[in-house]
């Protein structure tokens, strides 16, 4: 196993460093210290051809704006906060409005748009990168100085393990995630409509017209959201259902995971034979 690091670009006269983790099977994961962005994941298909299975940009400049949030760590709060404000401990905090009247994915200067400190990590059977960033009190309107640490580790089981740790000096909101887009066909040869998705979830959250959860849990039974036995994406996102149509024919909903923390989410591409399995210690997934 090994990890390669090199200067990829510059921003604000500071280096943007690219880290490529390579395991003994030839799987590669490349990430950068700007936004902790995962720029590439290279894995073999059923015929042994190694190809990239995530979306991103070939060069750095588009990542500066990165409207789709390709591959980035999202925070302080992933998702939307209605009216860009919240109440905590009897005090109302006003946040940056960056999607109409709402606050999305941490604001204009979310964690996806900052340069993180980064160090390579090499342990027995795994290599990775540890990123750290201190978000100052009041950044994008959030209370508290928050020290955030995100670690990516690649092992020889072809697992990419993402760990999040944070400490704040005040009560605050924090809801971190990674925003990587996958296309398992490899090098985006095909769309993902024939990918099959399985999620162990009996319920999902209803969204309003601004794509903000209403707090109402809906049963997945007899809906396109019933992914418990697996479903081709085209059979779900092309369905005639008000919640599917609300997001422009797709899924952008929180699924409440059943109480089983193993192979909760599985995405399979029959064409390439690649499978992505996602496990989490959280109660839900979007």
| Residue 45 labeled ligand binder | no
Summarize the chain as % helix, strand, coil (round to 5): 10, 45, 45
Task: List the beta bridge partners of residue 14.
Answer: 11
| Residue 277 labeled ligand binder | no
**What does the alpha-carbon distance between residue 235 and residue 12 come to, in Å, rounded to a whole number?**
46
Whole-angstrom CA distances from 44 to 25, 161, 184 are: 9, 19, 10
| Residue 180 labeled ligand binder | yes
Length of the chain: 286
DSSP-assigned states of every residue in 163-190: EEEEEESS----B-EE---B-TTSTT-S
User: Does the N-terminal peptide bond of residue 146 adopt cis geometry, omega within 30 degrees of 0?
Assistant: no
HSE-up of 162 (CA within 13 Å, CB side)?
18
| Residue 252 labeled ligand binder | yes
What's the gap between Cα 144 and its chain centre? 24
Of 32, 38, 40, 37, give the one whose Cα is nearest residue 10: 32
End-to-end CA distance of the chain: 32
Task: Looking at the chain, list the stretches that DSSP marks H as alpha helix, in order from N- to C-terminal side.
Answer: 61-65, 233-237, 242-246
The DSSP call for residue 4 is: E
Query: Which residues are known binding-site members for beta-D-galactose?
Result: 179-181, 252
Query: Which residues are known binding-site members?
Result: 179-181, 252
């Amino acid at each position: 196993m090994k990890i390669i690091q090199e200067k990829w670009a510059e921003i604000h006269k500071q280096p943007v460093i690219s880290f490529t983790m390579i395991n003994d099977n030839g799987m590669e994961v490349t990430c950068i210290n700007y936004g902790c962005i995962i720029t590439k994941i290279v894995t073999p298909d059923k015929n042994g051809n190694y190809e990239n299975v995530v979306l991103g940009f070939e060069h750095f400049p588009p990542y500066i704006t990165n409207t789709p949030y390709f591959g980035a760590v999202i925070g302080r709060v992933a998702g939307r906060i209605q009216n860009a404000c919240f109440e905590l401990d009897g005090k109302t905090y006003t946040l940056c409005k960056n999607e109409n009247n709402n606050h999305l994915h941490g604001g204009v200067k979310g964690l996806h748009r900052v340069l993180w400190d980064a160090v390579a990590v090499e342990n027995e059977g795994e290599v990775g990168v540890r990123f750290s960033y201190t978000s100052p009190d009041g950044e994008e309107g959030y209370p508290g100085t928050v020290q955030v640490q995100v670690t990516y580790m690649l092992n020889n089981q072809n697992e990419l393990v993402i760990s999040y740790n944070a400490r704040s000096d005040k009560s605050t909101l924090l809801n971190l995630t990674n925003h990587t887009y996958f296309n398992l066909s490899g090098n985006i040869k095909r769309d993902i409509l024939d990918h099959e998705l399985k999620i162990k979830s009996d319920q999902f959250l209803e969204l309003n017209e601004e794509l903000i959860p209403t707090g109402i849990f809906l049963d997945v039974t007899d809906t396109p959201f019933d992914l418990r036995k697996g479903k081709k994406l085209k059979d779900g996102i092309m369905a005639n259902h008000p919640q599917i149509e609300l997001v422009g024919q797709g899924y952008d909903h929180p699924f409440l995971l059943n109480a089983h923390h193993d192979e909760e989410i599985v995405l399979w591409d029959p064409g390439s034979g690649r499978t992505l399995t996602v496990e989490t210690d959280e109660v839900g997934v979007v």
